Amino acid sequence: MTQSPVERYDLAVIGAGMSGMAAALFAAQRGLSTILIGSSGGLLFASGLLDLLAVHPVPERRLWSSPYDALAALARDQPEHPLARIDPSAIRMAFKAFASALASAGLDYAPLVERNSDMLTSMGTVKTSFGVPLTMVAGIAALEARPPCLLLDFRGLREFSARQITATLADRWPQLRHQRVVFPGFDAIPEVNAVHLARALEIPETRDRLMALIRPLLGGARVLGLPAVLGLGRSREVHVAFEAGLGVPVFEIPTMPPSVPGLRLQEALEKAVSVRRVRRRQASVRALTFDNATALLDLDVPGWERISASAVVLATGRFNSRGLTADRHGVRESLLGLPVQQPASRDEWHQRDFLDLGGHAINRTGLRTDGTCRPLDTTGKPAWPNLFAIGSVLANQDWTRAKCGSGLAIATAWAAIEQLARQLRGSGMNAKLG
């Protein structure tokens, strides 16, 4: 078997979820040659909303209107939390850069102010989030003011029920009503898919036919809510066309994952890293070893492929993406066998009550790092000077319950790349960093 030539990069990012994509973006923006290894399929399960921090303390389920006030409280109460170790000004810059990259790829978010927003979900409940796609913004004002509003759904779209949302909110929003229509061109199809509807609405004729069905139903409604189907890569164009054609503000409601907003986010991030010349490799890493100032990555592909990098970012996630694995003996980091912070016994992994307000200890397991996102070895020192760990693989956080998943991914990616840029600049390894 002939060995392929070794490809050399400043940075190899392992994992192509939200944190890995963010790290690749931020590195490319700083002029680092970057390879991104892994599949971005997990982004399909994203809501499209960019949470920063909404809940703290988790056991009290306290909701915060300002994520930055929440971060200040987190820093006082849980200084070991990954977000508490990053300066808020850096977090602001990280979100601004991330949203700007998405906008350049055609996915617009509302201006990132200092406040969280309340959003409707497909269950009729309310979710608090920070970064909101522009196609969903009108729903924020509607939920607050509760004007006459029409919610529309489509026959055969099982993942979204306008009737259920209306019934759930009947006491809080009496002027909310619902209608169901047959999506144009899908008359003979008993079950429809949100992605197919989104693609169909990128065709002007289909948009016009649907708007013709909606106009007589509006009545006195001053705002219209729809499931998130207003286009995929052209959601900006489709949303503008609906608001202009119907004469009322229009907002999307995120559907159950895998969802159109998740697909939009995936496609926008893939486009954003591509135009910045990030090399993509949809493969897994068979082995990662270090040779002085160089990391060597063997990729699990036919014919075998080796990558050389001056630095590595682990954005491998937790159990679902197999960054961590668990068995009867404990939790392990899958690639390097790095020590995992975890309860001393499996008996301590879970609370007796599955719905315990404080969550479960297993959800706070992960890698310990120094103050610059470098994972620690068994002696408590950085495992390798240019090895970083970001995102949900980190210890001391329960991102699901704290509603901080995107914030954790984006902020730790920014912090790691900032530190890496300083180290490479100091070593003179990359003149582009200036």
Q: Which CATH number characterizes residue 72's domain?
A: 3.50.50.60
Cα(166)–Cα(159) distance, rounded to whole angstroms? 15
Is residue 260 a part of any domain in this protein? no
Asked whether the beta carbons of 3 and 306 are under 8 A apart, the reply is: yes
| 244 and 270 assigned to the same domain | no
Pairwise CA distance, residues 80 & 243, whole Å:
46
C-alpha to C-alpha distance for 393 and 375, rounded to whole angstroms: 10
- Judged against a pLDDT cut of 80, whether residue 304 lies above it is answered with no
Asked if the structure places residue 31 within a domain, the reply is yes
Same domain for 340 and 274? yes
Closest CA to 14 of 355, 298, 249: 298
pLDDT of residue 196: 95
User: What is the tens place of the pLDDT at every residue in 383-406?
Assistant: 999 999 999 999 999 999 999 999
Do 303 and 409 lie in one domain? The reply is: yes
Residue 40 has pLDDT above 90, yes or no: no
Lowest pLDDT segment from 3-7, 83-87, 134-138, 361-365: 3-7
Same domain, 99 and 138: no
Q: Domain tally for the chain?
A: 2
Instruction: Please tell me whether residues 211 and 335 are part of one structural domain.
Output: no
Please report whether residue 347 resides in a domain: yes
Residues 312 and 385 in one domain: yes
The overall average pLDDT reported for the chain is 93
State yes or no: pLDDT of 129 exceeds 70: yes
Mean pLDDT over residues 87-109, rounded?
97
| Rounded average pLDDT over 256-271 | 92
- pLDDT by residue (tens digit) across 100-117? 999 999 999 999 999 999
3-class DSSP string for the chain: CCCCCCEEEEEEEECCCHHHHHHHHHHHHCCCCEEEECCCHHHHHCCCCECCCCECCHHHCCECCCHHHHHHHHHHHCCCCHHHHCCHHHHHHHHHHHHHHHHHCCCCECCCCCCCEEEECCCCCEEEECECEHHHCHHHHHHHHCCCEEEEEECCCCCCCHHHHHHHCCCCCCCEEEEEECCCCCCCCCCCCHHHHHHHCCCHHHHHHHHHHHHHHHCCCCEEEEECCCCCCCHHHHHHHHHHHHCCCEEEECCCCCCHHHHHHHHHHHHHHHHCCCEEECCCEEEEEEECCEEEEEECCCCCEEEEEEEEEECCCCCCCCCEEEECCEEEECCCCCCEECCCCHHHCCCCCCCCCCCCHHHHCEECECCCCCEECCCCCECCCCEEECHHHECCCCHHHHCCHHHHHHHHHHHHHHHHHHHHHHHCCCHHHC
Do both 47 and 135 map to the same domain? Answer: no
Q: What is the pLDDT of residue 3?
A: 56
Residues 55 and 190 in one domain: no
Long-range contacts for 291-300 (Cβ within 8 Å, ≥24 apart)? 293/386, 295/12, 295/384, 295/386, 295/387, 296/6, 297/12, 297/14, 297/37, 299/37
Co-location of 315 and 223 in the same domain: no
pLDDT for res 45 = 86
Residues 232 and 342 in one domain: no
Last residue of some domain: 221, 248, 275? 248
Q: Tell me, yes or no, whether 50 lies in a domain.
A: yes
Q: Is residue 426 part of a domain?
A: yes
Enclosing domain of residue 426: 7-104+265-433
- pLDDT band per the 50, 70, 90 thresholds, residue 128: very high
Which of 204, 220, 248 represents a domain boundary (last residue)? 248
My answer on whether 141 and 79 are in the same domain is: no
115 in any annotated domain? no
Last residue of a domain, one of 248, 283, 309: 248
Does a structural domain hold residue 271?
yes
Task: Indicate whether 229 and 284 sit together in one domain.
Answer: no
Segment 315-343 mean pLDDT: 93
In a domain, 116, yes or no: no
Q: What is the largest CA-CA distance in the chain?
A: 72
